[in-house]
Every structure is written in structure tokens, then in C-alpha cells.
Amino acid sequence: MSDDTRPAILVAGKMNPRVLDRLGNRFEILHVDSADPSCITPDIAAKVRGIATFNKVPAGLMDALDRLEIVANFGVGYDGVDAAHAATRGVVVTNTPNVLDDEVADTTIGLLLNTLRRLPAAEAYLRAGKWVSEGPFPLSPLTLRGRSVGLYGLGRIGLAIARRLEAFGVELAYHTRTPRSDVPYRHHTSLASLAEAVDTLVVIVPGSDSTRHTVNAEIFKALGKNGVVISIGRGITVDEAALVEALQSGTIAAAGLDVFENEPHVPQALIDLPTVSLLPHVGSASVATRNAMADLVADNLIAWFETGEAITPVEETPFKRQAR
């Protein structure tokens, strides 16, 4: 074993290079191929006090690391980090809230317009020379004009989406477990009631057991044949098989998806549907926003070991560092 006294941070698989640059010489960085606990050698187990991750830390990995104090997740969603287990171990989990809200909201609006107005298909038409050979691109059957939009989830990103949608002059409503007192939009106590009331559903809830497949056949039926679903939170919230069926049968009109149940694999049936607009999970994926997220991952680790307090701990682990 080396006599390096710097805190050791484990990186399992890939990590944004800016995180590693920012951690610099303050930390010893140990790399393993994956988050599988079988990658942890006795030497690594004896050293690691922190993990920097892209949303993948199972309970078994934490349990292989006796000295683990902090898991710093790159991303606001941390459904792949077992935060409940971390809480039982006294391990703090951090995420990257706030710095990506506006970027993800911008992407949501782009995806909504792409879905309704078929802008990617129109561009592909021009690039293929069809404007010249076949004449104008066909009119889009759908429009944002006159729509009523329901937000499933109204946290920081949901609010940023709602603020943008206000400027588009559409009606807004939302479903959350607890109504907000700071917004003028109509609250629905159930997702089914929201889906009955609107024709466009923007899905922005975190992925968890309680949201899994909550956007399902019943919800598509309630949205109706003019219905549009935009999914930008986590893939598991939408029942993809039921979505394919709803689109193929005309139960709803269209969907725009940035997130999928089994990324990076997207069902061929979705790819084949002309009424679907698809993005490869790029909600926050600009250089500027990913840099801000990288800085927050690094700053959480630095703050934890230098001040004893993380900057953005998740709600399950509101811990301060004990003398260890």
C-alpha cells in the first residue's frame, strides 16, 4: 500500500474529464472498469473515501468500501445511486441541481416543437433535395396553438419549463403529490385527472419505483387522439410498450422522447414511427452546462473533505462529516 495521505476517490467507468481536472492533486483518483463490487481489490477497499459517478452506485459497491463517506453524482437525477442504502451507512450523496434547469427546460421546448411541427423531418426533407424535387414539405398536422399542457412534476426543472410555456400562450396545469402555493396553474390530485384535462403531457418527474410506468395505457387513453406526450425526466416513467401501442393505434397523436427505459437502446418500433421525435438523452448536454455540472461534482467533494459539509446533498442524506 502507498503512503499517499490524500483522500482517495473512486471512478467506476467513465467520468467527465473536467471533474478529474478539477479534483487535481488534492485527491488520489482510483479507476475501475465498472460499478460492479467485484472490481474492488483489497487495496482499493482500504483507501476509498469518495466516489464520483454517472448515476451508478449499487448498495453492493458501497458495502465493499468500508471507509466510504461521500458519493458525488454527475446529474440531478440519482435514481441509479442507492441513496436509501447510503443513508443507512451514513454516506452522503450529492447531485447537481439548479445548474442544468434552464438547459433542460430549453431542450424540452425544442423537443415539444420538433414533435408538433415535425421540424427534424422538415430539415431532413430539405437536405435530401426534396424541396426542389417534390415541392413544399407537407403541412404539420399538429401545432402548439390552442393546446393545453399538463406538467407531470413541477420541481425546479418543471417550473423552468412552465415559465417558458407561459410565453407561448398555452393553458397550463400540473400534477404533483403536494400542490404548490407559488404558481397560478391548476393542480390535479391525480395524473389521470390531469391527463383527462389536457391534450399535451410533459413528463419531468424523477425516476423511482413510485413513478415507474405511471404514464401508461390508461393515461394515453385519457389524453385522447389529439394527445402528445413529451418525456424528458427518466425513461422508466413511461411504459414504452404501451406508448408504441397508443401511437400505432391512434390512441394519441405523437410523442417526443429524450429518455428511454433501456438507454442507449431505443425500441425499433419507436424509431419506425413518423409521429415520434427522438433525442439521445441530451437534455443537459451542452458544453457549458456539463461544465457547470462537472464543477458542482468536484466542488461537493472538495467541500466535504475541506469544510465537512457537502454543497448539494440529496434529501435522503442531509449529513455533515463526522470526525472519522
Q: Is the peptide bond before 264 cis (omega within 30 degrees of 0)?
A: yes
Q: Which is nearer to ligand DGY, 53 or 114 (CB)?
A: 53
| Residues β-bridged to residue 8 | 28, 48
> What's the rounded Cα separation, in Å, for the pair 256 and 283?
12
List the one residue from 94, 107, 200, 284 that touches ligand DGY (CB under 6 A).
284
CB of 46 to ligand DGY, least distance (A): 32
For residue 81, report the phi and psi dihedrals to the nearest 5 degrees: -105, 130
Which residue out of 49, 234, 261, 290 is catalytically annotated?
Answer: 234
Contact status: 283 vs ligand DGY (CB under 6 A): yes
Nearer to ligand DGY among residue 283 and residue 313 (C-beta) = 283
For residues 53 and 71, what is the distance between their CA atoms, to the nearest angstrom?
7
Q: How far is the CB of 4 from ligand DGY (least distance, A)?
A: 32
Detail the DSSP E strand segments found in the chain. 8-12, 28-32, 48-53, 70-73, 92-94, 148-152, 171-175, 186-188, 200-203, 228-231, 254-257, 276-278
The answer to whether residue 166 is catalytic is: no
How far apart CA 102 and CA 111 sit, in angstroms, is 14
Specify the amino acid at residue 53. T
User: In the annotation, is 188 catalytic?
Assistant: no
Cell numbers standing for residue 85: 442504502
CB of 281 to ligand DGY, least distance (A): 6
Minimal distance, residue 309 CB to ligand DGY, in Å: 22
Residue 85 phi, psi dihedral angles, 5° rounding: -70, -40
Beta carbon of residue 283, minimum distance to ligand DGY (angstroms, whole number):
5
Closer to ligand DGY by CB, 76 or 191: give it. Answer: 76
The number of beta carbons lying within 10 Å of the beta carbon of residue 313 is 19
Rounded to a whole number of angstroms, the minimum distance from the CB of residue 318 to ligand DGY is 20
Are 55 and 33 in contact, with CB atoms under 8 Å apart? no
| Count of residues interacting with ligand DGY (CB under 6 A) | 6
DSSP state of 316: T
Nearer to ligand DGY, 26 or 156 (CB): 156
Reply yes or no on whether 263 is catalytic. Answer: yes
Q: 42's torsion region: left (phi>0), alpha (psi -120 to 50) or beta?
A: alpha
Pick 27 or 78: Cβ nearer ligand DGY: 78
Calculate the dihedral angle through the C-alpha atoms of 38, 42, 48, 52, rounding to the nearest 10 degrees: -20
Closer CB to ligand DGY, residue 157 or residue 247?
A: 157
CB 70, CB 50: distance < 8 Å:
yes
Looking only at residues 50 through 109 of this chain, which bind ligand DGY when binding is defined by CB under 6 A?
75-77, 100
Q: Of 166, 218, 263, 309, which one is the catalytic site residue?
A: 263
Is 211 a residue that touches ligand DGY (CB under 6 A)? no
Residue in 18, 187, 281, 321 annotated catalytic = 281
Interface ranges with ligand DGY (CB under 6 A)? 75-77, 100, 283-284
Could you give the residue numbers annotated as active site?
234, 263, 281
